[in-house]
Structure 1
Amino acid sequence: MERLWTKSFILMTVGTLFLFNAFYMLYPTLPLFIKQMGGSEAQVGLSMGAFMLTSVLVRPIVGGLLDRYGRRPFIVCGLLLFILAMYLYNWIGGIVVLMGLRIVHGISWAVSTTSISTAVTDMIPSARRGEGMGWFSTSMTLAMAFGPMVGIWVIQDLSYHALFLIAAVLSAVALLLTLGAKVPFRPKAGARRIELFEKSVLPISTSVFFMFIAYGGITTFVPLFAASIKVNSGVFFLAYAATLALSRPLSGKLADRYGETFVIVPALVITIAALICLSFSTGLFGVLVSAVLYGIGFGSAHPAIQSATIRLAHPDRKGVANASLATATDLGIGLGAIMLGWVSQYTSYSFLEKKVLYPHLSQRTNENPALSYCS
């Protein structure tokens, strides 16, 4: 069996752990930071959404450039800009300036994560793609567990200034680790047209888009929703991430052995069940159950979807294929945060959970063209 755990794969995976820790430290704390500045729920959603929607515009271009010029230059430039953006949060004085910085931060996120994930797919043996993507995704999972908890602890015991400084340091460590990895991809000589989208992964990208509309609303507003029912949001993220960490490597192996369909379809059903549970949660027990179910469903589907994406794409178009999938992810998160931000402002968090998240996702899942691909 071909070797998976090479030095470069380990360095990239650990580097991604540090990068995503920095990212997730801001996810539950930035809405609170905006509220402290006097922002509304709609501005919270707009700020979070602006970050992801910027990535939507940048990722397709980055994906084509990766296939033409290679991965390394974009990993370095993306991480350097990410570090700078993290540090500049210390100097934010108003909502308008914050929106501008969120756009810059979104660009850095698109460049760094697209180039890193594409480089990792180059390192994973094709026969162990699901397993490799499962373990690589686990680094993001651990960040989901520790990042929000560390972020909340820092703002409670230290300050927002310390939060942004620590996040910048973690991002710098990610840069140093990735610099030590060997990137196997070498672009072919001669000018080639830069592609912006990989048509072969359109059904999968459509499915991912609808999945992440709900995900964007949950990750943005669970901290505020949990506070409204007197539950620590860190509990949700911890239970969710712990379940993800357990399910992803296992689901990746199952996808390699039995095919992606075997994993994706049941995982989507469990995800819907998690949203139903969350919609009726009134205390800690309901939040914990929904987090565990969401971790199983979402965590199982993601590595299988990534594996299917790489399998369907041409070997010379892995960059644009990864960018297409990530674009669908960011667009779903961005639109979910913005739309559900307006809903929560004019109704309530309870209405947002019961009347918007679950019916929207379940209806779209039933209509999803990706399910025809899966079957």
Structure 2
Amino acid sequence: MTKSKLWTKDFISVSLSNFFLFLTFYILLVTLPIYALKEFHSSASQAGLMTTIFLLSAIISRPLSGQWLERVGNKKVMLTALIIFAGASIFYFFPKSITGFLVIRLLHGVGFGMATTAAGTIVADLIPTARRGEGMGYFVMSTNLAMVLGPFVGLLAIQQWGAKWLFTVTLVVAIGALLTGFSIKLPKKEQQSQPAAQPAFSARNLFEPSAVSISIVGGFLAIVYSALLSFVSVYATEIHLANVASLFFVVYAIFLLLARPFTGKWLDQYGANVIFYPCIILFAIGMFVLSKANGSFTFLLSAALIGIGWGTLFPTFQTVAIQDAEPKRRGLATATFLSIYDTGIALGSFLVGLVAAKMSYSSLYFLCTFYVLIGAALYYFFHHSKKRETSPKLKSQEQ
């Protein structure tokens, strides 16, 4: 029996487009607050709005774009979103006030939310059903690589070359997302618009009910991940490990990459439950080791454990969200998952900041250990206990 082909030109193209989208996001995530503080002498809260406004507009646009995917077609929505995204990148050169930048961030977030929703839906249709866990794992890896490379490129650009070069690099990367998006060719049935048979803007047309429970688990655990994104470098400085802080997400990505060929295949063969519980334990152990880190080895060991644990859990959740939905509602399932996940990230950045003001980062990450374990109970009650899991291979035979 021949193995279904995964690494097609179109799979590579949509993964590259997704990589460029998230590379743009992470380049600006770490640099725009610096730019706002230096150029406009804004307050820290105003600088933080650069990210908040972007994420809020992405979250709001996703349910709508999930509906448009059903009605207009995947590629049309994808290309429209990429044009908005690249177009917004041009405007960063012009604003003379923080308000102008916030308007651009609003527009940029809309393009980002639409494009990432469309990309997740398109890739789910391109991946052979029997290899969906493996394929989604590799697709999400493009996001992980952007997370590692983006801050490095962004900080290098703004510190060594200045803001104009930063925005030039951002624009070039956004155009890369557009060009690779244009190169995607979908099967003819995916290019046809679907009839607008259902009433617009009903709740069921904005969210996919079957994806909500697993998305809530993902959003719940994303709060811990936001604590890493926001404060792990500050924590490294606090424990006198600033010299290795930049290596945290590099090690995270390396071990994620090493685990990905195995975990994706196991997800396809044995289902999500077999993957979830070992990975949630590794995630919790990683947070515990991080909270007790007293040297470079333990600090980077925690990154390796979290890379295998959380780095595997995220694509697993997204795969389950898509797999549980009807094929024609995969767009809404993708939108539902990413909206709830991003809500967890945005909420986590705010809540973790409040908690961090009351205790040390070591204590914060120690508490995160138990929070992650609560996530295991949440998964059991929201997903495991409600259905007898069918392996993806059996599902592919039934379809």
Aligned residues of 1:64 and 1:320 also touching (Cα < 8 A): yes
What SS does the corresponding residue of 1:182 show, helix, strand or coil?
Answer: coil
Q: How does 1:212-231 map to 2 (within 5 A)?
A: 212-228=222-238, 229=240, 230-231=242-243
Q: Give the greater-gyration-radius structure (CA).
A: 2
**Distance between the aligned counterparts of 1:292 and 1:177, measured in 2?**
31
- Structure number with greater CO (CA < 8 Å, separation at least 6) is 1
Q: Is the 8 A contact 1:59 1:324 kept in 2?
A: yes
Query: Is the 2:215–2:317 Cα contact (8 Å) retained in structure 1?
Result: no
Matching residue of 1:187: 193
Against the structure 1 CA distance between its residues 226 and 28, is the aligned structure 2 distance closer, same or farther, given a 3 Å change threshold?
farther
Q: 314-323 vs 334-343, which deviates more? A: 334-343
Match of residue 6, structure 2, among 4, 7, 14: 4
Kindly state the Cα deviation for residue 227 of structure 1 after the two structures are TM-superposed. 4.2
TM-aligned CA deviation for residue 39 of structure 1: 4.7
> Which residue number in structure 2 is paired with residue 363 of structure 1?
374
- Cα offset, 1:333, TM superposition: 0.8
Structure 2 gaps of 5+ residues are 389-399
Give the deviation of 1:326 after TM superposition: 0.6
For 2:308, give the aligned amino acid. Answer: I
The answer to whether 1:136 aligns with 2:139 is yes
Mapped pair 1:171 → 2:183: no
Identical-residue share of aligned pairs (%): 33
Select which of 385, 390, 397 maps to 1:372: 385
Which moves more between the two structures, 146-155 or 37-46? 37-46
**Deviation readout 1:225-279 (Å, 9 max, x if unpaired):** 4344424542112111222222223211110111111112211221122222223
> Displacement of 1:283 after TM fit?
4.7
Matches of 1:301 and 1:225 in 2, distance apart?
24
Output the CA distance in 2 between the equivalents of 1:20 and 1:102: 15
The number of aligned residues is 374
Secondary structure in 2 matching 1:241: helix
Residue of structure 2 aligned with 1:123, choices 114, 126, 151:
126
Say yes or no: does 1:278 pair with 2:290: yes
Inter-partner Cα distance in structure 2 for 1:72 and 1:153: 34
Native 8 Å contact 1:49 1:337 kept in 2 = no
Superposition TM-score, scaled by structure 2 size: 0.85
Whether contact under 8 Å (1:28, 1:152) holds in the other structure is: yes
- Cα RMSD (Å) of the superposition? 2.5
TM-score of the pair, normalised by structure 1: 0.90
SS in 2 for 1:320: helix
Partner of 2:280: 268
Query: Structure 2 CA distance, aligned partners of 1:222 and 1:48?
Result: 18
The alpha-carbon distance between structure 1 residues 152 and 285, as it changes in their structure 2 partners (threshold 3 A), is farther
Of 124-133 and 277-286, the range deviating more from structure 2 = 277-286
Structure 2 partner of 1:204: 214
The separation in 2 between residues aligned to 1:283 and 1:45, in whole angstroms, is: 31
CA deviation after TM superposition for structure 1 residue 80, in Å: 1.8
Matched, 1:317 2:323: no
Structure 1, residues 287-316: CA drift from partner, whole Å, max 9, x if none? 312211111011211222222222210111
Displacement of 1:94:
4.2
1:291 matches 2:303: yes
